[in-house]
Amino acid sequence: MKVLVATEKAFAPVAVNQIRTVTEAAGFELVMLENYKDVSELLSAVADVDALIVRSDLVTSEVIEKAKELKIVVRAGAGYDNIDLPACTAHNVVAMNTPGQNANAVAELAFALMLYQARGGFVGKSGTELRRKSIGIHAFGNVGKHVAEIAKGFGMDIYTFDPFVMEKDIKKYGVKVCNTTDELYSKCQYISLHMPANDKTKKSIGYQLLRKMPKDAVLINTARKEIIDEEGLLKIFEERPDFHYLADVAPDCAALFEEKYKGRFLFTSKKMGAQTEEANMYACLAAARQIVDYFKTGNEKYKVNK
Ligand code: 3PG
- Per the CB < 8 A criterion, the answer to whether 116 and 109 are in contact is no
Which range of residues forms the domain containing residue 79? 2-101+275-297
Q: How close is the Cα of 215 to the center of ligand 1, in Å?
A: 31
pLDDT at position 285: 97
d(CA 187, CA 180): 11
Question: Closest residue (by CA) to atom 2 of ligand 1?
Answer: 79
Asked if 189 and 232 sit in the same domain, the reply is yes
Asked if 235 and 144 sit in the same domain, the reply is yes
Work out which ligand 1 atom sits closest to the CA atom of 196.
Answer: 2
Asked if 35 and 169 sit in the same domain, the reply is no
CATH number of the domain at 79, please: 3.40.50.720
Question: Closest residue (by CA) to atom 11 of ligand 1?
Answer: 274
Residue to mutate (ligand 1; options 82, 97, 102, 142; most atoms within 8 A of CB): 102
Task: Give the length of the chain.
Answer: 306
Residues contacting ligand 1 via CB (< 6 Å): 9, 55-56, 77-79, 102, 271, 273-274
Distances (CA, A) of 237 to 152, 209, 212, 233, 249: 29, 13, 13, 6, 18
* Each residue's pLDDT tens digit, 162-220: 999 999 999 999 999 999 999 999 999 999 999 999 999 999 999 999 999 999 999 99
Q: How close is the Cα of 287 to the center of ligand 1, in Å?
A: 13
Residue 302 lies in a domain: no
Please report, as a single letter, which amino acid is at residue 135: I
Rounded average pLDDT over 286-300: 98
Burial category of 154 from C-beta neighbours within 10 Å (exposed 0-12, middle 13-18, buried 19 and up): middle
pLDDT at position 188: 98
pLDDT at position 33: 98
- Give the total number of structural domains in the chain: 2
* Each residue's pLDDT tens digit, 122-151: 999 999 999 999 999 999 999 999 999 999
* Each residue's pLDDT tens digit, 202-212: 999 999 999 99
Rounded average pLDDT over 3-21: 97
- Per the CB < 8 A criterion, the answer to whether 118 and 126 are in contact is no
